[in-house]
Amino acid sequence: MPRNTTTSTVLRRVLNTTGLLMIGYLATAALRPSLPDSLPRGLRWFGQPASLPTTVIAMAVLFAACVMTYRSGASRQLAGMSITVIALLVTTSAILGLSAYWSCHDADHQAFVTPLMATVQLVKGGIGDYSLSGHVCPHPTPVGLQIARIAALSAIFTGLGSVVVGAFRSQIDRLRANVANPVTVIVGVDDDTASLTSAVARTLDARSTLVVITGLGHDRAAWARGLGARVVPVDFDTPSALTALRLWRHLGRLYLMSPDPALNVAWLTTISLRLTELTDKQRVPLTIRIDDPWLAEAWRAARYGGSDTQWAADVVGKYEMTAVRLLDKIIASGKTTRVFICGTSQLTLTLCANLTRLTLERDFYTPPGSAELPALTLVGTDADEYLRDHEFYLQQAGFVTRGPVIESVPQAPTIPVMESLINAAGPAACAVILVNADGATAATRLAARFPETPIYTRDLITSIPEDTALVVGLLRSYSLALDTNEGQVQDAWERAARLIHERYVATLDPGTPRSPSAMPWAELDEFYRGSNRREVRNALWMVERIAGHTWNTWGNPLAQLSQSDVVESSPWQQLLLLGFDRESAMSMARAEHEDWCRYYLRNGWKYGSPRDDSRKIHDKLVDWSVVESTPDLLDATARNLASTLWGLRQLGYRSHPLWRNFIQVGVVNAERRNAAWTWESDCGETMHADAGDWAIMDGGKVWSVRDDIFRATYEHVGEGRWRRTGRVQARPALPGETVETLEGPTTAPEGGWIVRGYQGEQWPVPADEFARRYTEIHPTEDAALDIGVNE
């Protein structure tokens, strides 16, 4: 959300105007001491010599003007702030001093030079009385002269302070970054990411602080500070230097922007481990730079399928953002029905993938007045191969859309070939994108032949801004850059939250009054935007952690669901159709309600009836036990959850069960040990148990269980004998998989299982022991529908 600069600009102008008027009045009062006597009786004190209230008011206005000058966008750099503020103070001191000394001259002292020299001494810091022929001048001392002396001293100390601050700027930025809450962190800034960093700074929430972490001696530190960022230099060759920063505790959003994707992944691993030590936050927004589109898609799939729910991850890259810019510009014209992509490169695949994403979004919700999406035609000798690559991507992801087709012409994009294609489609209804850097000559020739057709070409040597029409026809240049048309950075989850909200608003009767939470996204208060983002991110976490699903459906496309079947079903049946059994659905509904309550309470809302958004009163801010016992509230909670999950599925974010539900069975011997001890895993690793942990003995094997987990998942049946009762989730282990258990890392046995407890703890179990100790729960449709018995 952009910072609100309108109010600060108006306030700054009011302060500046008030200050100018006050300085003018005090200067005139110094020239004409009788001026204050002409004011109304209640204001005659203002401007009188030695008037303390006048001094206090004038200095308060001057201080406020300096502060607003510092906070203005033009003066955020240290040098700019110092020069601007010092110039303001010196000018004030000079005007008031010259006015006060104007009458200080006689036969031995020249009329203009003497006051001027006295003023110069004042500005240099001479605050003593000026003596003229043995007497003090001016007498009595005008209050404006006292203010001038204070302003002169302030200018001197501001200059000295700026030198000190400049010398320790990195340390000051580090300190302010450590205490800020929340922080938006960008790691790694270069020429490619400059525009993206600027966009992040412009759209930063007013409550958040932007922190840019750079390498030692980075030459963009001053530029980043000019955006209002806190710049923290670290030695990237020393991983501990990155994790030693205390700001990670208050992390609100993370951008990893190195051009080397391997380095970004290494940074992510390091930061993830540190974040785990400091906080239990889930689904922190993460944007990582991976320029190669295939590598980016592979990383997305792997991230969606992991058990780590710490991040709400998205990928950004030069090809992806360039494709977004180009297609957005072409679609915005409303005239183009077909886009010819000349040549084959990474940008070719990204343009196809971006059109697919736009099609999925349009299938989900089409804003009123939206232009039709154009069809794509790939033109190149290996165009068929690239089209098969794109179709393979659609097949693996399981995307089925009703949008424009993507075709191929397996011929070199020569001028005769392109002339034939453009003429067949209609020059006014076409656009051409040349994806290779050597297409400038062909672009110019096509633009000359088809002046009605927008032609986009790369890397023209010109100083004209991107997308400006050049000399010939509608020839335009573009560059591979991490930039957007709107100057805003939106990750996939922000887009999903916005689209789900916009579709919901579109279903409302336009004739009924709108609540503040039902306004269009562009008019929606930041609090309600945050609530929509929270709902999407919370769904990502719940689906994996509570329901045991994975978002990685790559290579395992799901069966398509009918829109009518889902819409016409009850909320609980909808959740069943989406693959969530009775207990998972109820647990997710509870987690969503409790997270929603925390968000509202944290922002100052309270329970009350009837609901009153203007007073932050909501009638659904109740304990889960109240929701569970109130059918209408329970159904409403399930309906919101099902709507969010169904919306994500329609937008291409689909889940399927990864973890299966089991209950622990059998009776074991157990004893609690008061000292730390060790035991050996099935693979021979030494595992460490803490004092107070329980030793479980079964079939000649011994392992440890933490006290709180033991008491929640075992029940006493006799002296030293305990029955296993806990419900867990499990999945087959990957070959050679390493598991981070509470007792330390260990390797899963071949053909074994990974078991996950109710607090998220994991441990490996050999296949034969797993079959003996765990029984799978097979949810039936009737059992799942039991949730809705109170409907």
- Provide DSSP, 469-490: --SSTEEEEE---S--SSS---
Whether the bond into 138 is cis, omega within 30 of 0: yes
Reported confidence tier of residue 216, pLDDT bands at 50, 70, 90:
confident
pLDDT of residue 222: 77
For residues 290 and 317, is the Cβ–Cβ distance under 8 A?
yes
- What's the whole-number mean pLDDT along residues 244-256? 91
For residue 245, what are the CA distances in angstroms to 185, 221, 273, 289, 668?
12, 18, 13, 22, 46
Q: Contacts from 731-735 at CB under 8 Å and sequence distance 24+?
A: 731/548, 731/658, 731/659, 731/660, 733/764
Reported confidence tier of residue 734, pLDDT bands at 50, 70, 90:
confident
More confident residue, 663 or 80: 663
pLDDT of residue 221: 78
Give dist(CA 723, CA 17) in Å, integer: 80
Give dist(CA 198, CA 187) in Å, integer: 14
Query: Which numeric CATH code is attached to 319-478?
Result: 3.40.50
Give dist(CA 244, CA 254) in Å, integer: 16
The percent of the chain in helix, strand and coil, each rounded to the nearest 5, is: 50, 20, 35
Q: Is 664 left (phi over 0), alpha (psi -120 to 50) or beta?
A: beta
Compute the mean pLDDT over every residue in the chain, rounded to the nearest whole number: 84
pLDDT of residue 167: 58
Query: Which numeric CATH code is attached to 173-316?
Result: 3.40.50.720
For residues 381 and 472, is the Cβ–Cβ distance under 8 A?
no
Q: Could you report the per-residue pLDDT of 605-643, keeping only the tens digit for each?
A: 999 999 999 999 999 999 999 999 999 999 999 999 999
For residues 1 and 73, is the Cβ–Cβ distance under 8 A?
no
Give dist(CA 371, CA 327) in Å, integer: 12
For residue 576, what are the CA distances in angstroms to 110, 142, 630, 783?
96, 83, 21, 10
pLDDT of residue 461: 53
pLDDT of residue 791: 31
Question: 403 pLDDT exceeds 50?
Answer: yes
Reported confidence tier of residue 715, pLDDT bands at 50, 70, 90:
very high
Reported confidence tier of residue 537, pLDDT bands at 50, 70, 90:
confident
For residues 229 and 259, is the Cβ–Cβ distance under 8 A?
no
pLDDT of residue 467: 54
Q: Could you report the per-residue pLDDT of 430-485, keeping only the tens digit for each?
A: 999 999 877 778 888 999 999 999 999 986 554 444 555 555 678 888 888 887 66
pLDDT of residue 685: 86
DSSP secondary structure letters along 679-699: EE-TTS-EEEE-TTPEEEEET
For residues 290 and 320, is the Cβ–Cβ distance under 8 A?
no
Question: 582 pLDDT exceeds 70?
Answer: yes
Reported confidence tier of residue 418, pLDDT bands at 50, 70, 90:
very high
Question: 762 pLDDT exceeds 80?
Answer: yes
Question: 788 pLDDT exceeds 80?
Answer: no
Share of the chain above pLDDT 70, in %: 89
456: helix, coil or strand?
A: strand
What does R_g of the chain's alpha carbons equal in angstroms? Answer: 34
For residue 523, what are the CA distances in angstroms to 515, 516, 527, 528, 603?
12, 9, 12, 10, 19
State the Cα torsion 57-63-67-72 to the nearest 10°. 80
Question: 783 pLDDT exceeds 60?
Answer: no
Reported confidence tier of residue 784, pLDDT bands at 50, 70, 90:
very low
DSSP state of 733: P
Of 60, 65, 36, nearest to 50 by C-alpha is 36
Angle at 12 between CA 11 and CA 14, to 5 degrees: 65
For residue 224, what are the CA distances in angstroms to 77, 122, 174, 218?
9, 37, 14, 11
Domain with CATH 3.40.50.720 in the chain: 173-316
Q: Could you report the per-residue pLDDT of 345-362, keeping only the tens digit for each?
A: 999 999 999 999 899 899
